[in-house]
Amino acid sequence: MAEQEKRSGPRLTQAMENYLLSIYVVLERGGKVSNSNLVDQLRRVPASENLGTSLPAVSGMLRRMEKESLIRLGDSRDIDLTPKGRGLAESMIRKHRLAARMVVDLLNVPLHEVDAEAHMLEHALSDSLEKRIQEKLGNPKTDPFGQPIPGSGYREPKGIVTLDKAPVGVPMVVDRIPEDDAELVAYLYESGVLPDVQVIVADVAPYRGVVTLKIGDEIAVLGYNVSSEIRLREI
């Protein structure tokens, strides 16, 4: 039994796995993990995961994760991952993003449905099945949204900038889009704002709350509040 636990690592509940994934995503996007923005991220997890986001539920889970040495709370009460927690979070993210890649590349699942499907699959993937999927897909470095797969050898491209800070009138390429807002993903797909697509920022107007993109001969208008989650890179 002890040897089996050593091979498979500590057993986590499905809720705890979702918390690790959510904390990792907030950190990956450059934010600090306070209780409030963690709750915002948890609310993006599909309803099928049955996550409670009330203050008592969140506080109770964070206390449990701290006791398990998965997170640490800073002096300002910001949440960070311990080395143990980060390793487990990266494992969850890797399974999630490989599952997303699989359902798109092999099953042609519509992009706005991918996040929910990946959430259901991530909890069931064993390490050996994960490796088989990775090999079957040709060892991809990113998921369908352009997000890096941990352990894949991904290297950050040069000249990365978020959409809200992108230069106006300069051709750039979409590097990454958020995955966890199905309505936004559907709109981005319909508008052609997808990884590896060339775009031009026509106008950035925070006072009007919009960013205007030109994709070929088409125009897409995005809310300024989501533009910081869309990344562009130099051509």
Provide mean pLDDT across the span 224-230.
91
Could you read off the pLDDT of 89-148 as tens digits, one per residue? 999 999 999 999 999 999 999 999 999 999 999 999 999 999 999 999 999 999 999 999
Domain-wise residue ranges, the chain: 10-155, 161-234
* Residue partners of 84: CB distance under 8 A and separation at least 6: 69, 70
CA distances from 233 to 29, 80, 124, 157, 174 (A): 16, 28, 34, 7, 6
Instruction: Return the CATH architecture of domain 161-234.
Output: Roll (2.30)
The DSSP 8-state label assigned to residue 48 in this structure reads G
What pLDDT is attached to residue 2? 42
Q: How many helices (H) and strands (E) does the chain have?
A: 9, 8
Asked if 174 and 160 touch (Cβ cutoff 8 Å), the reply is no
Written as one letter, the residue type at 204 is V
For the chain, how many residues are written? 235
Instruction: With H, G, I as helix, E, B as strand and everything else as coil, classify residue 138.
Output: coil
Instruction: Return the CATH architecture of domain 10-155.
Output: Orthogonal Bundle (1.10)
The DSSP 8-state label assigned to residue 72 in this structure reads E
Instruction: With H, G, I as helix, E, B as strand and everything else as coil, classify residue 21.
Output: helix
User: DSSP letter string over 157-201?
Assistant: PSS-EEGGGPPTT-EEEEEE--SS-HHHHHHHHHHT--TT-EEEE
Asked if 51 and 18 touch (Cβ cutoff 8 Å), the reply is yes
CA distances from 200 to 57, 162, 171, 190 (A): 44, 13, 5, 17
Could you read off the pLDDT of 31-71 as tens digits, one per residue? 889 988 999 999 999 988 888 888 889 999 999 999 999 99
Could you read off the pLDDT of 162-187 as tens digits, one per residue? 999 999 999 999 999 999 999 999 99
Could you read off the pLDDT of 106-121 as tens digits, one per residue? 999 999 999 999 999 9
Query: What gap in Å lies between CA 152 and CA 197, rounded to an integer?
Result: 22
In CATH terms, are 10-155 and 161-234 the same topology? no
